[in-house]
Structure 1
Amino acid sequence: MSVLAGFLAPLACALALAATIEAWGGAARAPLGRRPGDLALRLGAYALLTVFWFCFSWRPWLAASSTVTTVAALVLISRAKRAVIGEPLVFSDFALLPQVPRHPQLYYIPPVTSPRVAGPFLIALAGIALWYWLEPSLLPAGPGRSLAAIVALPLALLGLAAAATRGPLAQALARRFPRPDLEADIARVGLPATLMAYALRRRTEAAPAAVPAEPTAPGDPVVVVIQLESFIDPERLGGPRLPAMDLIRSRAAEYGRLRVPAHGAYTMRSEHAVLTGAAPDALGFGVYDPYLANGGDEPASLPRRAAANGYETLFVHPFHRNFFQRARVMERFGFRRLVMGEDFAEAPRTGPYVGDVALGRRILAEVRARRGPLFLFSVTMENHGPWKPGRLPGVDDPLAQYLHHVANTGRMIEELVAGLGGERATLCVFGDHAPSLPTCRPGFGETSTDYALFRFGGPACAPRRIDRTADALGRRLRATLHADMTPPAGTSPAQA
């Protein structure tokens, strides 16, 4: 009872301050929800945070201050993320945290050795140590009772989390959060409650059913699909005319704007959409990171369809195997051979990454060395952000750096079109998302990029502009893998 009494006042302060921070700090674009059930969820999430921090110290005021600091940090990070990407913080972002220290050059953050990071961190540690010394602990007296309390409280939190994934508690959570509605839910119950609820709902949600495709005769002997990092027509950013765009408009069988699931980041969303043809609405709470649940285990994916039809399936990406756990994910997708970072050790770089032209030439070499039908999916790396000073000699402006790299992407496309012209083949290129540049902020083009679908070795047809979603492009590509599924000339984008 004394522990509870000593905990109540700090807890009340934590709840009040955390709610104030969310109300005035802009965690949501809409006014805070005031229904009793919504307020209970909001305050309950703050209380769980306080209990979580209490487990580490058994000092209630330290736990309360840690909760307020946590909520403030979440709100600030969410606001910064929304300004750059157009989306608030989501639970799946925490799964990406291990990538930050491994590949710090891919993020707009200073390294941990920077005084801007190390200084505040060391000051915070010193402050926590001082607080430990000043505030008395509420641990029960006696070694046995202390040990029991130290073990019991974390176990109680784990038990509550486990109970929320099954039975009545899971059903109640499903009624409160039937489907993802990020902005509305953050306004309704707050950012911490939304993060917790979405993570739990993702664990309990059934994966969408997918029926493996029946094997058929292969379609085009060569199908090459290339996901272009941060690719859009540079004229949309006020840049110069790209010769490759003229080539696309004059030679591609189909081309147009591609509406992708995010702006400026989240490559895996577009990648998953194209490789599976699954619409975002069908993914439930997995829409924010489709790899978290199944990790690429998709029975109806393009590589599995291709393999069933006798294709060799090859994934080519000139970067580390462990980034996004790509090697494991792509093997589960159905790619039987991977050509990745170690295979490009001697390849020329443009800036920090393997150049797109070098990647395109490796793709053509793989096409020429094939021993049967080939389905090749590649992800470029040259134009990956951030675009910071020092990336290119004598070019520090972010847009100028981007335009330099996108010109190389255009040259790669031109070389691939010329190299595949003598084959019966399909070449598809598409941008995964718009670049996160100061001149290209959220809302630009409704998250659309550009794509093109070239068909070689068959009857000539006039280029058609067909604007599509990324998942519709994935469904369109299925036709290239099946001899009897090529859509007629009049197929609409919705049917493709």
Structure 2
Amino acid sequence: MAASTAASASASVCTTAFGGSSPNALPWRSCCHACPPPPDPCLPVAGHGIDGFRGRLSVRHAWSARWPKSAWPPMLTWIEPRGLAISLCVLGLPLGTGLSLAMDAFGSRGSGHWRDRPLAAWLVHAGSWGLCYVLAVALLQRGALALATTLTLQWVVQRSHQAKCQSLKEPFLLQDFEYFLDAIRHPRLYLPFFGIGLALGASLAALVAVSVFIILEPWLLDHLSLSSMAQLLSGLAVGPALALVLGLRQLPAATLVPCRDHDQLGLWSCFWAYARFPRSPIDTTQAPALLRQPPSPVAQDSLPHLVIVQGESFFDPRPWYNRIPRNVLTHWDRLSEQSITHGFLKVPAWGANTIRSETAFLCGLNEDALGMHRFNPYRQLARQPVPSLASACARMGYRTLVLHPYPGGFYQRDKVMPRLGFQAFEDIESFRHCRRDGPFIADAELARRVAQALDDPDPRPLMVFVITMESHGPFLLEPAPDPLRWLTADASRPEDVTHELDIYLHHLANTDAMLGTLSETLARQSRPGLLCAYGDHVPILSPSYRWHGEPEGTTPFMLWSNRPGTTPLRESPSDLSQLAEALLDAADWQATTFATGSLGHSLYRHCKEPL
């Protein structure tokens, strides 16, 4: 009778490790009849932190049922879920801090500079990482998972830092964290530089690792009450908090020279230095006088049309690589010869960050005038009105228009452009059905839209600011040209260099053709007109730069008039922040030469008189 009862018990349905009393559940088998079945995880259990339901598949319970602690060797009795959970949390703090410091020292730009960093920078790094780890433990309830998660997130930031240094010659900054959201909205602009394969592989590895940790690692709330867990987390946070406070007291201030700051402070401490830097409003008194106090809109009929083109990644590559055909910029060469002035400009961006160049041109503010806002000026310009070329032209009687065939919310242009004085902003929604060349709207479509605006019967002069997109990289994502359109075959040149460079030259020639079309359109107008064109920054051509070296980083500009014989400017600009004033100066001379002269004298007076 007892034997049959024992057999019946051994074949009973398990309602513990496999969650419930379903008829299809597997039978529970004990190693001996003296071993009681483990508790049901689907029922509330007292003494385990939060009373509640824990209805999930528990490998740990199945383990403890088959190998009870009484059967373990004496040296292994300390390895129990409660002790293991606490030990992993405690050991993860010093282990992770050391690994994090090593990652920053040896995995960042200029790894040799870590030897010269002050002690305060190391304390800030250790304290910051430690507090992030404690926060991860509190959220994830698993020490090893928190350690892996925090180090992985640091690796993502550090990999982004390396990619930015390679592509943009600038380290990862505190202001760049918001671009992670942009990378989700506009993956083509960001992920290729991070590495598409690397991003997919890292995501898959993270998914597998998280799944393994969740299944195998003990959960703190299974073994600690809320008060005990609070004591554990508080104890873990004391050391990092003390290190952070002591480090911040002695941390050097940021110089706003990103590479220098990063070399001196390291990645984490650089974030803190930039976060603590004063953020005062932009000093508008440093804007050019003519933008702050434009002349009254008199003699409107003599005001010239102003067509301004900011060419995406536009630069003259022929001095950089002499194997590039001269005729790639045929129209540019012709217009430069006929121009009021032309040359090369120092621009505040390399490879990207177009809004820095836009701000320098439209507002006439250089990096020193912008202060901390130099890295993403549109964040401040979306809140603070600043005098600009557009607002000055609007007060003079111009109708002001900006064309940019990309989503208007990118960089908050849809908010910034009206604040700068543009009366109309046409983004990608206005170009939905236009032809593309590569992944972006063709530059020729922008020339067509400018011609329509110039032919508008509105009697007011037009000031239009064109921000092109066709020449935006990455160029290696576009199909390799076959046959080559601009380069000749060269066995000594790497294949990826030939691919990317020929694609870029194709788009560069299209921008050149657009400028030729715009000059012809202005030449047909009865009203005087000025064409101003410049490049926002040099393109990202990483394989080409590694193979042939980097260009200087300046971009070309020119001011061309549809009225031949216009007097050249007395002083040609050398910095992009000086170009808007030069443009209005050219408009001054053109109005003086081809009209009654009243407007020209007014412009000249307001430009030269001190305010």
Among candidates 431, 439, 449, match of residue 535 of structure 2:
431
- Structure 1 partner of 2:575: 469
1:355 alignment counterpart? 442
- Corresponding residue number in structure 1 for 2:553: 447
Q: Which amino acid aligns with 2:472?
A: H
Q: CA, structure 1 residues 453+485, in 2 after alignment: closer, same or farther (shift >3 Å)?
A: farther
Which one of the candidate residues 293, 298, 302 is aligned to 1:214? 293
Letter in 2 for 1:126: V
Paired position in structure 1 for 2:308: 225
SS of 1:235's equivalent in the other structure is coil
How big is each residue's C-alpha offset from its partner over 1:75-98, in whole Å with a ceiling of 9 and x where there is no partner? 333222212221111222222222
1:191: which partner in 2?
Answer: 267
Aligned CA RMSD, in angstroms, stands at 3.7
**2:325 aligned partner:** 240
Greater Cα offset, 29-38 or 251-260: 29-38
Q: Give the superposition deviation at 1:18.
A: 1.3
2:94 maps to which of 8, 12, 27: 12
- Asked if 2 retains the 8 angstrom alpha-carbon contact of 1:230 and 1:432, the reply is yes
Query: How much does 1:28 deviate?
Result: 3.6
Once the two structures are superposed, the pairs formed by residues 33-182 of structure 1 within 5 Å of their partners are 33-109=116-192, 117-139=199-221, 145=227, 176-182=252-258
Q: Counterpart in 2 of 1:205?
A: 279
Three-state SS of the structure 2 residue aligned to 1:230 is coil
1:307 to 383, 394, 399: 394
Question: In the TM superposition, what is the alpha-carbon distance from 1:481 to its structure 2 partner?
Answer: 6.8
For 1:252 and 1:300, locate their aligned partners in 2 and report how far apart those are by CA, in whole Å.
Answer: 27
Q: TM-score, normalised by structure 1?
A: 0.83
**2:64: which partner in 1?**
none
* Equivalent position to 1:267, from 348, 354, 369: 354
Judged with a 3 Å threshold, the aligned counterparts in structure 2 of structure 1 residues 149 and 226 are, in CA distance, closer, same or farther, namely farther
Secondary structure, counterpart of 1:382 in structure 2: coil
Q: Which has the higher contact order (CA 8 A, sep 6+)?
A: 1
Distance in 2, Cα, partners of 1:337 & 1:87 = 34
Corresponding residue for residue 252 of structure 1: 339
Contact 2:572 2:582 in 1 (8 A): no
CA distance in 2, matches of 1:474, 1:310: 17
Residues 317-336 of structure 1: matches in 2 within 5 Å? Answer: 317-336=404-423
Whole-angstrom CA distance in 2 between matches of 1:125 and 1:348: 40
Instruction: Write out per-residue CA displacement over residues 40-98 of structure 1, whole angstroms, 9 at most, x where no aligned residue.
Output: 22222222332342332133333233333333333333222212221111222222222
Structure 1 residues 12-47: Cα deviation after superposition (integer angstroms, max 9, x where no partner): 111211111222223445521443322222222222
Question: Any conservation in 2 of the 1:107–1:386 contact (CA below 8 Å)?
Answer: no
Q: Partner amino acid for 1:224? A: V
> Would the aligned equivalents of 2:283 and 2:370 in 1 still touch at CA under 8 Å?
no
Which position in structure 2 is the counterpart of 1:494? none
Contact 1:110 1:116 in 2 (8 A): no
CA displacement at 1:376 relative to structure 2: 1.2
Taking a change above 3 Å as real, the CA distance of residues 217 and 425 of structure 1, as seen in their structure-2 partners, is farther
2:461: which partner in 1?
A: 373
Q: Is the 8 A contact 1:250 1:463 kept in 2?
A: no
Following superposition, the deviation at residue 430 of structure 1 comes to: 0.6
What amino acid is the match of 2:133? T
Percent of matched pairs sharing the same residue: 30
Question: How many residue pairs get matched?
Answer: 473
8 Å CA contact retained: 2:168, 2:540:
yes
Paired letter, 2:371:
G
1:405 aligns with 2:480: no
Q: In structure 2, how many angstroms separate the alpha carbons of the residues matched to 1:187 and 1:54?
A: 31
What is the deviation of 1:328? 2.2
Instruction: For 1:240, give the aligned amino acid.
Output: P
Query: How much does 1:139 deviate?
Result: 4.9
User: Per the alignment, do residues 480 and 416 of structure 1 end up closer, same or farther by CA in structure 2, a change over 3 Å counting?
Assistant: same
Partners of 2:531 and 2:88 in 1: how far apart?
67
Report if aligned partners of 2:88, 2:144 keep a CA contact under 8 Å in 1: no
CA contact (8 A) 2:281 2:384 kept: no
Deviations 1:329-373 (A, max 9, x none): 212222111222222233222222221122112112212214313
Query: What SS does structure 2 have at the residue aligned with 1:434?
Result: coil
1:196 Cα deviation from its structure 2 partner: 4.0
How far 1:295 sits from its partner (Å)?
A: 2.4
Displacement after TM superposition at 1:254 (Å): 1.1
Q: Name the CA distance, whole Å, in 1 between partners of 2:415 and 2:254.
A: 31
Instruction: Give me the whole-angstrom Cα distance separating, in 2, the residues matched to 1:87 and 1:110.
Output: 14
Q: State the 1:433 CA deviation.
A: 0.8
State the 1:140 CA deviation: 9.3
SS across alignment from 1:447: coil
Larger Rg: 2
Unpaired segments ≥5 residues, structure 1: 492-496
1:270 and 1:432 in contact (8 A); partners too: yes
